Amino acid sequence: MRLNTWLDKTRRSWGILGCGVQGRSNLEALTVVYKSLEEVKAYDIDARNLHRYVEEMTAKYGLKVVPVASPRKAVENCDIVVTAGPILKRPQPVIEASWFKDGGFASALDFDSYWKPETIHSMDKFCTDDREQLTYYKKLGYFSNIPNVYADLSEIVSSKKPGRENSDERVMSMNLGLAIEDMATAILIYEEAKKTGVGKRLPL
């Protein structure tokens, strides 16, 4: 299945909650996929982090990055919402189901820390990058109240399960992070470093 059948390329408004490394790298990834962006609404509990993020991302990508004062303002009317706050075993989530628009896509990088259980359960499709890893984290005490996993990303990419099937579906992918993705990226970085002659070889 092609990416644009899973994430509609007409998405124009994004909300990013958590303006650290993940908030930056995910905005960079989204700018590669989407060319129709009109606005990014950014929120962080630390006002200094938020100010720095808005300045840096505006300068780097030439985007309209708007600081907002609450999680609600970062979620409402956004086509894509990325949450990248601290990962907590006993979170105090704040995002209400009514804030999240029909047809929206949510990427929860901080597990369920930002999302109330009823909001997660309101999704038409709840996905993850790896079922077994999600089960493992549940055994460690995370994810006290989440729905059954509709599909993992491998099932969607291989067309074993359909991704988005209509423009009104509310879809969440709770990505936990996989070492295989880090290794794939590391190979590309290594090859680029060799080609350009940068970096320092270290003994292993």
Tell me what pLDDT residue 176 has. 86
Amino acid at 30: L
Q: What confidence tens digit (pLDDT) does each residue in 88-139 have?
A: 999 999 999 999 999 999 999 999 999 999 999 999 999 998 888 899 999 9
CA 142 – CA 90 distance, rounded (Å): 8
- The residue range of the domain holding 20 is 7-196
Q: Beta strand pairing status for 125-128 and 105-108?
A: unpaired
Report if residue 204 sits inside a domain.
no
Specify the number of domains making up the chain. 1
Give the global pTM. 0.82
Report if residue 201 sits inside a domain.
no
What is the mean pLDDT, run by run of 10 residues, along the chain of 204 residues? Answer: 46 91 91 82 97 96 95 96 94 97 94 96 95 91 92 86 93 82 76 90 78
Residue pointed to by tokens 């709840």: 126
Tell me what pLDDT residue 185 has. 77
**Dihedral sign of CA atoms 96, 82, 137, 161 in order:** positive
CA 121 to chain centroid, in Å, comes to 18
As given in the structure block, the two tokens for residue 34 are: 């989407």
> What residues have CB less than 8 Å from 164, skipping those under 6 apart?
5, 6, 7, 8, 105, 125, 171
Report if residue 29 sits inside a domain.
yes
Half-sphere exposure of 199 (CA within 13 A, CB side): 11
As given in the structure block, the two tokens for residue 132 are: 């077994």
Nearest CA to 121 among 138, 96, 139? 96
- The domain that contains 76 carries what CATH number? 3.40.50.720
Tell me what pLDDT residue 124 has. 98
As given in the structure block, the two tokens for residue 182 are: 């880090």
Q: Beta strand pairing status for 39-43 and 125-128?
A: unpaired
Residue pointed to by tokens 């359909």: 162
Report if residue 1 sits inside a domain.
no
Report if residue 85 sits inside a domain.
yes
Report if residue 2 sits inside a domain.
no
Report if residue 42 sits inside a domain.
yes
